[in-house]
Amino acid sequence: MITTTQIEMALGHVNDPDLGRSLTELGMIENIKVDGKKVSFDLVLTTPACPMKKRMSDDCVAAIHELVDREAEVEINLTSRPQPDPKEELREAFKQVHNTIVVASGKGGVGKSFVTSMLAVLAERKGRRVAILDADITGPSIPKAFNLACGAYQDERGILPPCSNMGIKVMSLNLLVKDPAEPVVWRGPVIAGAVKQFWTDVCWEDVDVMFVDMPPGTGDVPLTVFQSLPVDGVVVVASPQELVGLIVEKSIKMAEMMKKKVLGLVENMSYFQCPDCGTRHDVFGKSHIDEIAARHGIGPVCRLPIDPGFAAAMDAGAVETVDCPDLQPVVDVI
Ligand SMILES: Nc1ncnc2c1ncn2[C@@H]1O[C@H](COP(=O)(O)OP(=O)(O)O)[C@@H](O)[C@H]1O
Ligand SMILES: [Mg+2]
């Protein structure tokens, strides 16, 4: 007997030839009905004139015959949504980035850029193709951490992001300003627009995972990132002091309101381990990270030590040489 689940799973193997993602993932399959050997469903196109409709229909029939039942009679109703999805253009531009992870914090100076850099380095070491989009213009931390001083190049495909030694692609507003020490005096909506342009105009090519270093807080730019990028998950970074107050919960709640999954919670500068005797000192008192993670049902939590070596490597443009095994549990769920 044929089931709707079998049909859905078979159609999960059919990709939109332009977007390279499955029709089910793109929400293009609706109303699957099965009656004996008769199978019908709607294929929802963005426009009735879609040049790929014949190919997609043929691929659907082939997938059902191959994976479910050779004798199934397949009827496909081609429909289209009256309004084109306004996010389609951005999705299209981002089709080559498979997984987008936002790194957020309630306030600045908690080590968000350090954690973003480290997540990227650890993911790259796992063999993933990695990119960083630095959306925080308050300081040129990311280009500096990877020793990238040059601006971006442009050819007919778009802006080409500079690459780190290990091959991490980096795009940052800070790479486009002439003097990184000069403040960028742009208002929120202008910055938000520039960040959006990094999606549409930067030629990312094949990237398995992109980390977005988000400005701290819950203002214009974070909101734009959540609303207009295909964000797959969020990692929240906090200092021990923030975990006592409510600041970090604002970041978590923003992700929840935007219906994005918080993949991990990182308490940075959590403790100090004496290099001479090995004793661990909880400089800021007892950690509250586990309570908060439990309250919001967040998976892996990490506590990173205060390590002068981290700061020195960030300053020297050598973050790719740093070892930070404590962060591995978060990288493993990305
Ligand atoms: N765990 C740590 N131990 C020591 N120094 C750190 C640690 N995490 C970050 N730093 C340093 O603290 C400063 C602020 O970190 P940064 O990542 O720029 O914060 P944010 O992006 O949240 O503003 C930087 O100089 C950075 O190198
Ligand atoms: Mg930063």
- Å from CA of 134 to ligand 2 middle: 9
Please state at what angle helix 53-67 crosses helix 4-11, rounded to 10 degrees.
130
What separation in Å is there between the alpha carbon of 109 and the centre of ligand 1? 6
Per-residue pLDDT averaged across 305-317, rounded? 96
| Whether the Cβ atoms of residue 118 and residue 155 lie closer than 8 Å to each other | no
Whole-model pTM: value is 0.74
Q: Which helix (H) or strand (E) holds 280?
A: strand 280-281
Residue 238 DSSP SS3: strand
pLDDT band at 270 (very low <50, low <70, confident <90, very high): very high
Q: Do 214 and 119 contact (CB within 8 A), yes or no?
A: no
pLDDT in tens, 128-140: 999 999 988 776 6
- 313 CB near ligand 1 (under 6 Å): no
Task: Answer for the pair 219, 188: CB distance below 8 angstroms, yes or no.
Answer: yes
Per-residue pLDDT of 76-119, as tens digits, reads 999 987 655 555 555 555 558 889 999 999 988 999 999 999 99
Residue 279 tokens read as 């004793």
Residue-level pLDDT at 58:
97
Contact (Cβ atoms closer than 8 angstroms) between residue 14 and residue 29: no
What residues are neighbours of ligand 2 (ion), with CB under 5 Å?
113, 136, 141
Q: What does each C-alpha distance from 332 to 180, 300, 302, 328 come to in angstroms? A: 34, 9, 12, 6
Which atom of ligand 1 has the smallest separation from the CA of 117?
17
Q: Return the closest-CA partner of residue 19 out of 103, 127, 94, 78.
A: 94
Ligand 1, atom 27, lies closest to the CA of: 311
Does the C-beta of 105 come closer than 6 Å to ligand 1? yes
pLDDT in tens, 313-325: 999 999 999 999 9
DSSP 207: B
Mean pLDDT of 52-56: 93
Segments of 100-240 assigned E as strands: 100-105, 130-134, 153-155, 158-160, 169-172, 209-213, 233-238
Taking a C-beta distance cutoff of 8 angstroms, is the pair 27, 11 a contact? no
